[in-house]
Structure 1
Amino acid sequence: MIPDSELPSPLWVFGYGSLLWNPGFDVAEQRVARLDGFHRAFCMSSIHHRGTEEKPGLVLALDEAEGASCQGVALRVAPGQEPQVLVELRERELISSAYYEAVVTLRADDDAPFKALAYVVDREHVQYQGALSLEQQARIIAHAHGGRGPNTEYLFNTADHLAHIGITDPDLAWLAARLRNEA
């Protein structure tokens, strides 16, 4: 975990998956933003929220890649709520240590850079699944269910929210269309 003294102030959190549609905290302000050097990918096994140890699901993670970029939403935490939000985010996002916290530089529509907290996949963690094809991802997501519900629900909510705010993600759109056709 990043020491609280090294976190950006004001505290912005980068949402690229479920934080987009279920941040779990009151958002004081939000801005569409881009993170360079990473892409959004279903590259982390989920053994808690969207799958089980016996039948893991997949969740999105920021995966580092040269030349990549990820569009998402920067969510500003209301002043005074930072300590409680950090506790809740860490409980949610660091449940199995497959993510680590990072302070990243985002760019908004006006291209002004600012710092935010992000949760990035640890490529050395056993839950990292970076080599799966889209078809393999679809097969896993179609049948997984965890403590927060079906894996398809996570995919559909994320894909729908991205489309609603005008962010194009071809891989998520393909996965959502593929699995909606099976339903």
Structure 2
Amino acid sequence: MNDLWVFGYGSLIWRPGFVFEERAKARLAGYHRSLCVRSHVHRGTPERPGLVFGLDRGGSCVGMAFRVRHDDQAAVLAYLRGRELVTNVYREVTASVRLIDGRPVRAVAFVVDRGHSQYAGTVSVEHAAEVVARAHGQSGANVDYVRSSLTEIQAMGLRDPWLEAVVARL
């Protein structure tokens, strides 16, 4: 039986929360990382939503792929579904990703549902910074989430000028 691969692009990069056997930088084509989801639970509340990352269609995204042993697959999927599908703003998909060493693998990823009421679409740097600065949810301050994500994205050798501008305004 094949091992499970999971593609992380936001907090999963720096806080996967599950046991894995291998992790590798990877690229997912057809989606890009975007601060496009209003968070009503983890990084905000319904009254004061925060903004979290979603995989939105178009472009490509470099993130982290995690290989999970077959014996751990059911527990990891249950954990991820509990974490990512709280309000169903994400859809679980299995997609082709290419690891940094060139290996193609199929990985579970969570992409934003553009038809969901929490989908924020494209937001300006100013608006994103304003929302992020004031939001706090069950998993902590939205500011901490955004800063930690940028730190890890940069540690992977990547640049995100839009996100860097948001953090500079915080």
Q: TM-score range by the shorter chain?
A: over 0.9
2:5 equivalent in structure 1: 12
TM-score normalised by L of structure 1 = 0.89
Q: 1:97 aligns with which of 88, 93, 100?
A: 88
Matched, 1:141 2:132: yes
Report the Cα offset of residue 131 of structure 1: 2.8
Report the Cα offset of residue 164 of structure 1: 1.4
Report the Cα offset of residue 94 of structure 1: 0.2
- SS of the aligned residue for 1:19 comes to helix
1:29 equivalent in structure 2: 22
Q: In the aligned structure 2, how far is the partner of 1:156 from the partner of 1:148?
A: 14
Structure 2: gaps of 5 or more residues: none
C-alpha contact (below 8 Å) 2:2/2:70 kept by paired residues: no
Aligned positions of 1:162-177 closer than 5 A: 162-177=153-168
2:152 equivalent in structure 1: 161
Q: In the aligned structure 1, how far is the partner of 2:110 from the partner of 2:76?
A: 14
Q: Please, what is the CA RMSD of the aligned residues?
A: 1.3
Structure 1: gaps of 5 or more residues: 1-7
TM-score normalised by L of structure 2 = 0.95
2:104 equivalent in structure 1: 113
Q: In the aligned structure 2, how far is the partner of 1:9 from the partner of 1:119?
A: 20
C-alpha contact (below 8 Å) 2:35/2:53 kept by paired residues: yes
AA aligned opposite 1:105: S
Q: In the aligned structure 1, how far is the partner of 2:51 from the partner of 2:157?
A: 24
Alignment deviations for residues 3-55 of structure 1 (CA, whole Å, 9 cap, x no partner): xxxxx931010010010111011121001001111110010000000000000
Sequence identity percentage:
46
Q: 1:49 aligns with which of 39, 42, 49?
A: 42
AA aligned opposite 1:123: R
How many residue pairs get aligned? The number is: 170
Matched, 1:76 2:76: no
